Amino acid sequence: MLLSRATLAQLPGTVTRHGRAVDAIRTGIVHFGPGAFHRAHQAAYVDRLLDSDPRWGIAAVSLRSGGTTDALKAQDGLYTLAVIDRAPGMQIIAAHSDAIGPGEGARLRKLLASPEVRIATSTVTEKGYCLAGDGSLDFAHPDIVHDRARPAEPTSVIGWIVAGLGDRRAAGLPPFAMLCCDNMSGNGAKLRAACIALAREQDAGLADWIAGEVAFPDSMVDSITPASDAAFLAKVQAALGVEDRAAVQRESFTQWVLQRFDLPDGPDFASVGVTVTNDVRGYEQAKLRILNGAHSTLAYVGLARGHETVFEAMSDSALEAMVSRLVHEDIAASLKPIEGFDKAAYADAVLDRFRNPEIRHLLSQIAWDGSQKLPYRLLDTTREALDAGRGVARLAVPVAAWIAFVRRKAEAGEAITDPLADLLAAAATGADPVTAMLAVKPVFGARLASDARFGAAVREAFQHFAQGDVTPLLSR
């Protein structure tokens, strides 16, 4: 027996559910990519919004695979959201008023042209937008080649957005606002440019209309959402007494930062906890430096200490204390003030998330692609600290730990997951690994490679890792 409107009354009292009339919900949002993150994140915000404003039901659209949309159809759009943390809980999400799967293009086209639909959103991962390496639309991408040749039968998300907007313009309707909810810096601006570029291939007037009339606000989203594996789904079924094929799980922390945009009589996202701001970039930088910078530090130093997961690393009191000082005294100090944002409170919240015993986040995975991650997570902060005359002894520790990590992997003949793997392995196993690694320009650039203070700090910290004596570094 499946979770559905008919079986709601059978659920145990420990499962939270809304008492509102599901039939009163109308479809005001079309969402592309109803994967686990969307269902655990944006849909949960909208679910709360529907308590006071039933206009914003979500039509879940999947262009590639019908598994999720089929499950939502079978369950009347209902599914379980399990919060996994120190105080776990389960609730029924009823934000989806419709579901459209592959092969239902005519129905999707009609829905995008509906006057009631005011917003479209997307979580299709960065590769789903068919962008080139510089962030512009990749006209050589097979989906874009198809959509240029057959614009009335789009394949890509970009193609569908342009087709939907084109239909609204032809009908004299105002456009829907387009909210990208994938973690790309400047995601709204990139999506806007891609849609205008494709539209211009079809109709210059449509391209100009999109450029002048359609809102593409930037956004930032955050919440750890583990996969819904068989063990999790079985646990949900045992708790509910019915099967739920669309159940999702996430940590209790959730964040949605949205650029302020103009939509007359639009949804009051701020009332359900969405941060509406003119400075999404500031929030992105805070997340990148505080959360991701701390993550990389825990990964490389934690692995050197013999730990396997983020929770284990945070259970190492000396390491936890060092990372806390790094976050508060070094990283947060590099951030410019953001209106309405409390850096210290956010840093504390991030560190508390790392202490969640229910999230098994492997340090070995966080350690992947260090050459791509460190420049943004830690090295930008380091440059600013040097320019401001602040010390960099603590900031040098994760850099030295990364060099030692690469050296250990290379000497053991283990694969290094990094686009620069061969170059890094050669540098880290030489006679002077610190000098050789700092000379890797794609990572450190000329500024850090030539800075004597930084080089000395990394070299001194590296000696501790090379000698297996990391403990003194953790008192910094």
Strand order from edge to edge, sheet including 275-277: 219-222, 255-259, 275-277
How many whole angstroms separate alpha carbon 56 and alpha carbon 116? 9
The answer to whether the Cα torsion of 339, 345, 351, 354 is positive or negative is: negative
Whether residues 108 and 207 share a domain: the answer is yes
Three-state DSSP at 245 gives coil
Domain co-membership, 238 together with 386:
no
Query: Structure tokens of 452?
Result: 């004597």
Domain boundary, last residue among 278, 304, 322: 278
Please provide the size of the chain in residues.
476
Nearest-10 crossing angle of helices 380-387, 452-466: 130
249 plus 290 within the same structural domain = no
Q: Are residues 338 and 264 in the same domain?
A: no
Residue 302 sits in the same domain as residue 410: yes
For residues 296 and 396, membership in a common domain is answered with yes
Q: How many CA atoms lie within 13 A of 9 on its CB side?
A: 1
Q: pLDDT class for 23, splitting at 50, 70, 90?
A: confident
Separation of alpha carbons 134 and 388, rounded Å: 31
Secondary structure of residue 458 in the 3-state scheme? helix
| Cut 0.75: pTM above it | yes
Structure-block tokens of residue 145: 């080649």
Angle, CA 258 vertex, CA 78 and CA 116 arms, to 5°: 55
* Domain of residue 398, CATH code: 1.10.1040.10
96 and 167 inside one domain: yes
CATH number at residue 49: 3.40.50.720
Shared domain for 198 and 298, answered yes or no, is no
Residues 385-417 have pLDDT tens digits of: 999 999 999 999 999 999 999 999 999 999 999
CA 354 to chain centre: 16
**Does position 28 have pLDDT exceeding 90, yes or no?**
yes
In the DSSP assignment, the letter for residue 9 is: G
Domain boundary among 239, 255, 278: 278
Domain boundary among 244, 259, 278: 278
- The tokens for 98 are 């419709």
Least confident of 197-206, 331-340, 403-412: 331-340
Give dist(CA 155, CA 165) in Å, integer: 15
- Give pLDDT, residue 79: 98
Please provide the average confidence, as pLDDT, over all residues in the chain: 96
What distance in Å separates the CA atoms of residue 413 and residue 419, rounded to the nearest whole number? Answer: 17
Whether 343 and 250 map to the same domain: the answer is no
Whether residue 187 is found in the same domain as residue 146: yes
Contact 36, 248 (CB under 8 A): yes
Buried b (16+ CB within 10 A) or exposed e, 363-387: beebbeebbebbbbbbbbbbbbbbe
**Residue corresponding to tokens 């284990």:** 312
pLDDT in tens, 59-102: 999 999 999 999 999 999 999 999 999 889 999 999 999 999 99
Same domain, 156 and 302: no
The radius of gyration computed from the CA coordinates of the chain, to the nearest angstrom, equals 24
Structurally, how many domains does the chain consist of? Answer: 2
Domain that holds residue 373: 281-475
Q: Which residues contact 247 (CB under 8 A, 6 or more apart)?
A: 79, 80, 81, 82, 228, 232, 233, 236
Q: Are residues 252 and 383 in the same domain?
A: no
What are the residues whose beta carbons fall under 8 Å from the beta carbon of 220, sequence distance 6 or more?
183, 255, 256, 257, 280, 283, 284, 287
